[in-house]
Amino acid sequence: MSTAPLLEVTDLVVEVDNGKRILPVLDGVTFSVDAGRTLGLVGESGCGKSMTALAIMGLLPQGFRVKSGDIKLDGKSLLSMGPDALRKLRGSVMSMVFQEPMTSLNPVFTVGDQIGEALRLHEHLNAADARTRAIEMLRAVQIPAPEERVDNYPHQLSGGMRQRVMIAMALACRPRLLICDEPTTALDVTVQAQIFSLLETLQKEMGTSIILITHDLGAVAEMADDVAVLYAGKRAEAGPVATILDNPSHPYTRGLMSCTPRLRLGSAALTPGHTLAEVRGMVPPLGQFEAGCRFSPRCPMADAHCHAAPPPDVHLGASQTVLCWKVTQEQAA
Ligand SMILES: Nc1ncnc2c1ncn2[C@@H]1O[C@H](COP(=O)(O)OP(=O)(O)OP(=O)(O)O)[C@@H](O)[C@H]1O
Ligand SMILES: [Mg+2]
């Protein structure tokens, strides 16, 4: 079996032209996802999580473009593919559950039609076979009475069911990569837990790699094998979940952890010198970043050097990477 990652995002730089200025959206984002594993992509609102996902899918909104870097799926650069080749991959080899289920489900088509669409397009199934597979997918995502629900319109389903339909649509062609953008944010905790357990079951069955986008490190702790923390379009920290939760080394990661009640007890976030009750302030708007470390205006450890010069990526051990001057000085010396 090949040991190369399924997805490799390298030094990804995305910018947006807002009509007046070109603004940086992602700046040198690097991570990879191995076959059958789950990567948690975390960070507060506006850090660039959805734009990273849309760049991978080749679906960046108008005005946005990949300026440099590379995105490879199974060793092939997605950025050098034409629109037709990308369209063939989307929904078949890679697919995405979008952040807003109601904006991505079409209100005038039944859920059966919408699940079947990818199957008709990519696997050339006829209408009857597509319907049968749509019912199977509804059953796989544990929607009761799938033979009846297949003819429902999105507004006839609860929020949790709609999210399951989105997952059924995304998994209909058994993609190798599934990106879930905040799949459970709008759902109550019990339904969240059900959706996560469903994703895990389907992942085991299909061997799918998952990118789970969330602002919740608790969800990452439950679901993911690896994690990449984004802050203001840059990768602040990355590594295996167990390593990062045991030894969160970027002050931003520690801040996120201390804001996550499920992770507080026993975590290194609360060891002496590492305490950060909350992450004060907000992610700066695009283009209003500090010349040095982008987190420095909010960082309890920042000194003049942090404000002045962009920090290096520091490797801690074999697999943890941290973008921080303080780590350079204190730990990697
Ligand atoms: N259509 C748009 N036009 C201009 N800027 C945008 C647009 N969509 C997003 N942005 C900006 O791009 C940056 C990255 O946004 P992105 O949607 O990737 O954030 P996110 O991490 O997914 O946040 P959230 O948790 O709120 O979904 C933010 O500064 C955001 O304001
Ligand atoms: Mg988003």
Q: How many A from CA of 332 to the centre of ligand 2?
A: 33
Domain boundary (129, 159, 174) is at 174
Are 240 and 310 in the same domain? yes
The total number of structural domains that make up the chain? 2
Q: Which pairing describes strands 177-181 and 94-97: parallel, antiparallel, or unpaired? A: parallel
Q: Are residues 238 and 325 in the same domain?
A: yes
Ligand 1 atom closest to Cα of residue 233: 14
Are the CB atoms for 203 and 38 separated by under 8 Å?
yes
The CA distance from 315 to 87, in Å, is 37
Contact 179, 224 (CB under 8 A): no
In a domain, 3, yes or no: no
Query: Does residue 325 belong to any structural domain of this protein?
Result: yes
Distance from the alpha carbon of residue 282 to the mean position of ligand 1, in angstroms: 14
DSSP code of residue 78: S
SS3 208: coil
Last residue of a domain, one of 136, 158, 174: 174
Length of the chain: 333
Provide the domain limits for residue 288: 232-330
pLDDT by 10s per residue, the chain, length 333: 446 799 999 999 999 998 899 999 999 999 999 999 999 999 999 999 999 999 999 999 999 999 999 999 999 999 999 999 999 999 899 999 988 766 778 999 999 999 999 899 999 999 999 999 999 999 988 899 999 999 999 999 988 899 889 999 999 999 999 999 988 777 777 878 888 888 999 899 989 999 999 988 888 999 999 999 999 999 999 999 999 999 999 999 999 998 877 664 444 444 444 444 567 888 999 989 989 999 999 999 999 999 999 999 999 988 999 999 998 655 665
What does the block give as tokens for 127? Answer: 């209408």
Ligand 1: residue whose CA is nearest its atom 14: 48
